[in-house]
A = this chain, B = another copy of it.
Amino acid sequence: MQAEIITIGDEILIGQIVDTNSAFIGKILNSVGVSVYQITSIQDDRAHILKALAAAEANADIIIVTGGLGPTKDDITKHTICDYFNDHLVRNEAVTINIERLWRDYVKQPMQQVNLDQALMPSQSQVLMNTVGSAPGMWIEKNNKVFISLPGVPYEMKLLMENEVIPKLKNKYKRPSILHKTLITYGIGESMLAEKIEEWETNLPIFIKLAYLPNFGKVRLRLSAIGADLESITRAVDAEIQKVIPLIKTEYIGIEEEDGDLEVVIAKQLTKLGKTLALAESCTGGKIAELFTSHSGASAYFKGGVVTYATQSKIDILGVPEILITTHSVVSAEVAEVMAQKARVLYKSDFALSTTGNAGPAKGDSEAEVGTVFIALATENGVFSQKFELGSNRERVVNKSVNKALELLQKEIFKI
């Protein structure tokens, strides 16, 4: 069972937006046993759309197209799909009613003919009703292949995938199970890691595939398996994980959660322990807070944080003694530790993380070298800090600092 995703829109090709739709679709298809053969991003251009549809039809059983369904002149997907199937448009009554309802209840602006025309659908298509937007999805079957067209607005696309496409695919196809589990390792390069686990890797069962994913000092190891029965492939993958962990004992941090990342692992553990967290962020600028609060349920453990970007704010808000800053510099272990301690007291939390460093490109308030970062963790037993040299690229320094801070906290809370 193979799918191909086609995302339509010049904004993707010129780099105006990052295509997040494909990742969402790829993940949810995998979760129901559908593999993605290819993702193709193409222009808002009739000939290009026709060509991509034909290529995808040759590659895949399920073709999912996003984008180009709006009411304006640059939206040509619907007409082009109609041409591809030698079809014609007919008005759909249910869609018309839905659009009228949206305009009455939400848009509250005069409706145009172009809005009503969004209810014109290829005669062969089944409607995937979009209850939150005026562009309906389409489902067209041809020679035992399915073509699905969805709006490009991520929110609308996601609802349609979850509520319409996935149930229909489940219903239509007998699918295998696909399982991915990812181990997070830290502090070793991918080639060293590969050497350590070479024999294990060589002896992996044929249906388990291994991938190395290096990024910012972490190497993630992904095991992917496909099989008829989820239980038996899960058993096999778990058995391999139990074999490999002892080989990478020092480097192994944990298993990546379904939804991603370290902050989810930490959130679960803090919630389980009934412990709380606060933050005092300087060089990470709120990014750690944003990570935690991007998941629901954060209020169970996350008390909040201060972003003390300017030096003066570290004094005014956190009460870092000025003398400490003049003596040790604002980028120092001493300042990081006091920031964490003060944040812990301020927020009455069990743990508090702090970051202070110079993300570059300019030296900013401190005399510290670009890339120097101190991270501290305050707990009920005291406070400790670590120094890092994270290079000269701003984005990289910030991302690595966030990772390091999360790792520091993770090691602490899993000791308890």
Contacts and interface: CB of A to CB of B under 8 A. Distances in A.
A39 interface: yes
A37 B43 contact: yes
Interface string A306-338: 111110110011000000000000000000000
A11 B307 contact: no
B30 A14 contact: yes
A40 B26 CA distance: 14
A293 B316 contact: no
> What class of interface size applies to chain A in its complex with B?
35 or more
Given A24-B15, A307-B293, A317-B304, A73 B194 contact: yes
23 contacts: A11-B213, A13-B38, A14-B26, A14-B30, A14-B180, A15-B30, A39-B40, A109-B188, A112-B195, A153-B214, A153-B215, A155-B396, A284-B293, A286-B286, A286-B287, A287-B294, A289-B289, A294-B398, A296-B360, A303-B309, A305-B307, A313-B347, A316-B347
Contacts of A153: 214-215
Q: How many copies does the complex hold?
A: 2
A28 B16 CA distance: 11
Which of A24, A297, A302 has the most chain B CB within a 10 Å cutoff?
A: A302
Given A289-B307, A302-B310, A305-B307, A11 B396 contact: no
Interface stretch (A230-238, A361-369, A380-388): A361-369
A275 B201 CA distance: 58
The 9 lowest CB-CB distance pairs between A and B, nearest first, are A285-B293, A286-B289, A15-B27, A15-B26, A286-B286, A39-B41, A15-B23, A286-B290, A71-B191
A18 interface: yes
Contacts of A73: 194, 201, 210
A189 B115 CA distance: 10
Interface string A91-117: 000000000000000010110101100
A20 B17 CA distance: 9
